[in-house]
Amino acid sequence: MKSKITVSTIVMFILILFSFSQITSANNIINKVSFKIEKVTYSSIDNVFYVYTEKDKNDSFWVIDINTKNMTLKQAKKKYINHIIDIYYTGDEQNDNEIEIVKTEIK
């Protein structure tokens, strides 16, 4: 009798883990948004450029850091402003704390 309880418990545990992994993978869907870059700034503290996208319909925008070596702010502005950035991310766009940027591409 004791071995049946153990096997049942193990089977139940496996089913719970399987269900949890499906929920987790469903939340990791990669989304893509594309915006025009409107502004570029430089942070001497972080030693990176930040590109700011145009605002969306909710008046929100993205700020992405770009690690570019040997470039002035003037050169970065010329290179990035008015270009399109594709942002690939997981998580809920309505909750900034849950977003993870997977990849960015500047066209």
Tens place of pLDDT for every residue, the chain, 107 residues? Answer: 444 555 555 545 454 444 444 344 445 788 899 999 999 999 988 889 999 999 988 888 999 998 877 899 999 999 999 999 999 988 876 666 678 888 899 99
Tokens coding 14: 């496996």
In the prediction, which pLDDT does 19 show?
Answer: 43
In the prediction, which pLDDT does 76 show?
Answer: 94
Q: Three-state DSSP class for 100?
A: strand
Q: Which residues contact 100 (CB under 8 A, 6 or more apart)?
A: 89, 90, 91
CATH code 1.10.3470 for 31-106: no
Quote the Cα angle for 58-61-63, to 5°.
160
Q: Three-state DSSP class for 98?
A: helix
In the prediction, which pLDDT does 99 show?
Answer: 82
Tokens coding 20: 């949890």
Name the pTM for this structure: 0.68
In the prediction, which pLDDT does 87 show?
Answer: 92
Q: What is the residue extent of each domain of the chain?
A: 31-106
Pairwise CA distance, residues 107 & 101, whole Å: 17
The H-assigned helical ranges of the chain are 2-27, 73-80
Which backbone phi and psi does 97 adopt, to 5 degrees? Answer: -70, -20
Tokens coding 1: 């009798």
